[in-house]
Amino acid sequence: MYLITVLGSLFIILAISSDSHLPMPMYFFLSNLFMAYICFTSTTISKMLVTIQTQSKAITYAGCITQMYFLILFAGLDDFRLTVMAYDWFVAICHPLYYTVILNPWICGLLVLVSWIIIVSLFYGTMLGVYLSSAGTPSSQSSTTASVMYTVVTPMLNPFIYNLRNRNITIALKRFFGMSGTKGTIPLSLKK
């Protein structure tokens, strides 16, 4: 599942960055969102894979704090990227003639930077404080299942969902893999 998540997201990022036919702001934000998915799943699944391999559930305090920091950072980043993408779609629908003026490359970069500054400060401070102040209780089977669904299964399905629902991404992936041929039959050369 981890490899599917990383490779699926990576292929979409590479297809977007290599295809000049895609509109810049919308797909720029989408590729940043998939980068956040890769980072988010790498934060949790890497430790999960080590735990499965070694059969040891122990984690150091520093390792736990580091994992929680990056988990909260990338989860919050995911939320803010979706907010920026919603603003992008709002501008594209409500102000289509001013779209390239309003969302120029400088503004796109600024929006991505602001989304980074706002997980670090807002989510890192509040969520880590709540996490550290709560007493450690053993987790139940249902909360473990919910955690695995959120951190593993959902990010794994996102590349497929975005690919199936977006024709431009499908075309960009075909171009990236060199499969963008002509539709229908392929004419063969005739001998004279």
| 113-150: pLDDT as tens digits | 887 776 656 555 555 555 565 545 545 565 566 566 66
| Sequence-distant (≥ 6) Cβ neighbours of residue 19 within 8 angstroms | 171, 172, 175, 176
| 15-56: pLDDT as tens digits | 888 877 776 777 888 888 888 888 888 888 888 888 888 888
- Provide the phi-psi class of 65: left if phi over 0, else alpha when psi is between -120 and 50, else beta: alpha
Quote the pLDDT of residue 149: 65
Span 59-72, average pLDDT: 87
Domains of the chain in start order, with CATH, are 2-176 (1.20.1070.10)
Which residue shows structure tokens 């690919």? 163
Nearest of 70, 72, 44 to residue 149 by alpha carbon: 44
Quote the pLDDT of residue 3: 87
Angle, helices 105-118/61-94, rounded to nearest 10 degrees: 140
Quote the pLDDT of residue 23: 66
Quote the pLDDT of residue 45: 84
Tell me how far apart the alpha carbons of residues 13 and 4 are, in angstroms, rounded to a whole number: 14
Quote the pLDDT of residue 190: 45
| 154-168: pLDDT as tens digits | 777 777 776 666 777
More confident residue, 127 or 152: 152
To the question of pTM greater than 0.85 for the whole model, the response is no
